[in-house]
Amino acid sequence: MKLQILGSGAGLPSKNRHTQCIILDLVDEINQYYCVDASEGMQHQMLHTNIKPSKIKNLFITHLHGDHIYGLPGFLSSRDHQGGKDIPLMIYGPKGLKNWLDVTLETSRSHISYPLEIIEVAPNQTFNVDNMTIEVISMQHNIECYGYIFTERTEKGELLVSKLRDIGITPGPIYKEIKESNTFLHDGKVYDTNDFLGPEKIGRKVIIHGDTRVITDNDYKEKLDGADIIVHESTYLDGEIEKAHQYHHSELSEVLSNFKSIDFGRLLITHISNRYESDDLILIQERYRDECIFASDFMEITIPRKS
Q: Quick one: pLDDT at residue 122? A: 96
Biggest alpha carbon–alpha carbon distance for the chain:
73
Residue closest to 134 by CA, chosen among 20, 34, 30: 34
Catalytic residue among 37, 67, 80, 297: 67
The alpha helices in 64-204, defined as continuous H runs, are 66-69, 72-79, 97-107, 161-166, 173-179
Q: Quick one: pLDDT at residue 155? A: 87
- Spatial distance between the Cα atoms of 277 and 238, rounded to a whole number of angstroms: 12
- Residue pair 251/234 in contact (Cβ under 8 Å)? The answer is yes
Q: Quick one: pLDDT at residue 279? A: 84
Those residues with Cβ within 8 angstroms of residue 307's Cβ, 6 or more apart along the chain or in another chain: none
Global pTM? 0.90
- Spatial distance between the Cα atoms of 8 and 37, rounded to a whole number of angstroms: 11
Mean pLDDT per 10-residue interval, the chain, length 307 residues: 97 90 97 97 95 96 97 93 87 98 94 94 95 97 98 92 94 92 93 93 96 96 96 93 95 96 96 88 91 96 88
Residue closest to 132 by CA, chosen among 64, 34, 215: 34
The answer to the question of whether 44 is labelled as a binding residue is no
Active site residue 67: yes
Q: Quick one: pLDDT at residue 307? A: 65
The answer to the question of whether 271 is labelled as a binding residue is yes
- Residue pair 88/121 in contact (Cβ under 8 Å)? The answer is no
- Residue pair 145/211 in contact (Cβ under 8 Å)? The answer is yes
- Spatial distance between the Cα atoms of 5 and 100, rounded to a whole number of angstroms: 25
The answer to the question of whether 211 is labelled as a binding residue is yes
Sign, CA dihedral 61-65-68-69, equals: positive
The answer to the question of whether 186 is labelled as a binding residue is no
- Spatial distance between the Cα atoms of 39 and 27, rounded to a whole number of angstroms: 22
H or E element at residue 245: helix 241-246
Q: Quick one: pLDDT at residue 223? A: 96
The answer to the question of whether 209 is labelled as a binding residue is no
- Residue pair 214/249 in contact (Cβ under 8 Å)? The answer is no
- Residue pair 105/125 in contact (Cβ under 8 Å)? The answer is no
Expressed in angstroms, the distance from the first to the final Cα of the chain is 15
Which domains are delineated in the chain? 2-155+200-302 (3.60.15.10), 161-196 (no CATH)
- Residue pair 7/45 in contact (Cβ under 8 Å)? The answer is yes
The answer to the question of whether 63 is labelled as a binding residue is yes
pLDDT digits (tens, 9 = 90+) for 97-128: 999 999 999 999 998 989 999 999 999 999 99
Strands 21-25 and 2-7: antiparallel
